[in-house]
A and B are shown apart, each in its own frame.
Chain A
């Protein structure tokens, strides 16, 4: 079941185009990462999908409802973690959550507030003013606020931005838990390792959609897969034996390592190793070189320049 669907979604502010012709979909239980440089249109996309701003053209359907229709109905089914936490700093954590919770229909306000304050480890600080909270605590409180009404879809706009590594790790763990619970999440982030860790698919955005695939799919699209074989010693016979294999796309030596490009390493690697051993090679280590998502990202963004 598709929970987020966009069709040629476009937003212009005067003469400036923030998002152009965005078409994508997110299935139930999927975590989609939205990556892109500053000004790529990530926040504008989230604002359009949450019905806060209307698209200039195109449309989006979230949780079965058009985002340019009666958004109050849509808002019963979505949760938002915006760029800034947005709390009444002089009110307590509990009072803040109660205020937001009371806008939803048929919600057991006290029970839900207690449930999520406990889940986020903030129950002991429930009556403290939010202004006294650390950034990490505020971010956990934002997550609690976004989840109070058990939304079908969650929009997280840079949830770890500005947090120290420990707090960022805590927030990532919480998002990981939500993923395991099968929540549908659209996560905008600058943190590529976070995207790789948490997202099933990644949409690279630079006003337009640059690429949409799994992290592995993006890697494969850009880079051939390379297997490194470390040997006790590399002799010509070993190199020739490897070259003789028809599935080897390219090969080069680097010290005690053979770097071999393969189309399908899972299938071809055993045969490669067998051939090297038959040629007298003593194999010490075999591993696949993985391109980081950062390399993929930079490469794709470079293509767009």
Chain B
């Protein structure tokens, strides 16, 4: 029965989401824009900025990938930029999961559907999980699809030879451990933001704070302060999962029947 109820929530969330053109465009166009922007960035930067710009990061990259030494300087620079996409793509699950969480929960608050829902035999954790999956599944699938598109773009732009330097173990740890962790964290922040906000925009303003550490990840790596080795990325992903567990406790607390009915306004 639990599985049936969770799927029921999941299907309803998608059905509601599909009724709004704005939401559909948000979920489909935004990831495409992020992907296209990354490719454009890799194409433009070497043309308008010298490799001296990111010298510190390049040195760290060369230390991490010694075989890079055999490549021309411009290609090394491109590899450095392409490598940033693994963190840059974290913006996709962040945006989608926050979008789903804030839209779905704030909409329930605005239309006051939670009270009749809480009078059915559904458990609040089933409701929360159904909602989380409704945001996390598209966030993951779209992120992975955009990664595929990005790699396709890399090949199409004639940088196929560099794929071996891009698809490092760090990439896979990011894709399969960090992206899900960030999607869950974004969703949970969306729940927390939604419980305190009266409309989706206010909720997103609270939840969008997660973008700051994501941008910081790119910043510290590009500035050459830290180079994220596979081990470091693994530690980072596990750290985010720990934060997820803590945030889950907060979200479950906020998602209790009485709290929803009495305190959510």
Chain A interfacial positions (CB closer than 8 Å to B):
13, 47, 50-54, 71-73, 75-76, 78-80, 82-91, 95, 99-100, 102-105, 142, 145
Contact = CB atoms under 8 A, between A and B. Distances in A.
B44 interface: no
A88 B121 contact: no
A99 B122 contact: no
B18 to A, nearest CB: 9
Contacts of B261: 47, 52-53
Nearest to A76: B121
Interface residues of B, number: 27
B116 A145 contact: yes
Contacts of A142: 116
Contacts of A105: 1, 121
Interface string B13-53: 00110011000000000000000000000000000000000
Contacts of A90: 16, 19-20
Contact of A82 (B4, B16, B19, B119): B119
| Residue with the highest number of chain A CB atoms closer than 10 Å, among B111, B116, B261 | B116
Contacts of B4: 102
B54 to A, nearest CB: 48
A100 B258 contact: no
A53 B119 contact: no
Contacts of A84: 112, 115
A75 B119 contact: yes
Contacts of B257: 51-53, 71
A50 B119 contact: yes
A49 to B, nearest CB: 10
Interface string B231-265: 00000000000000000000000000110011000
28 contacts: A52-B118, A52-B119, A52-B257, A52-B258, A53-B258, A54-B258, A71-B257, A72-B121, A80-B119, A82-B112, A85-B112, A86-B112, A87-B113, A88-B113, A90-B16, A90-B19, A90-B20, A91-B15, A91-B16, A91-B19, A99-B12, A100-B116, A102-B5, A102-B8, A103-B8, A103-B121, A142-B116, A145-B116
Nearest to B107: A88
Interface string B98-129: 00000000010001111111111111000000
A247 B167 CA distance: 103
Contacts of A50: 119
A89 B112 CA distance: 11
Nearest to B16: A88
| Residue with the highest number of chain A CB atoms closer than 10 Å, among B116, B119, B123, B261 | B119
Given A51-B257, A52-B258, A142-B116, 10 more contacts: A52-B115, A53-B261, A75-B120, A78-B119, A83-B115, A87-B113, A88-B113, A90-B19, A100-B117, A104-B121
B5 A103 contact: yes
B115 A82 contact: yes
Contacts of B120: 75, 100, 103-104
Contacts of A86: 111-117
A85 B116 CA distance: 8
Nearest to B123: A72
Contacts of A145: 116
B258 A103 contact: no
B42 to A, nearest CB: 40
A-B CB proximity, top 10 nearest: A84-B112, A90-B19, A80-B119, A103-B120, A86-B113, A102-B8, A75-B121, A72-B121, A53-B258, A86-B116
Contacts of B114: 86
A12 B121 CA distance: 25
Nearest to A18: B262
A105 B123 CA distance: 13
Contacts of B1: 105
Contacts of B113: 86-88
A80 B12 contact: no
Contacts of B16: 88, 90-91
A103 B1 CA distance: 8
A73 B121 contact: yes
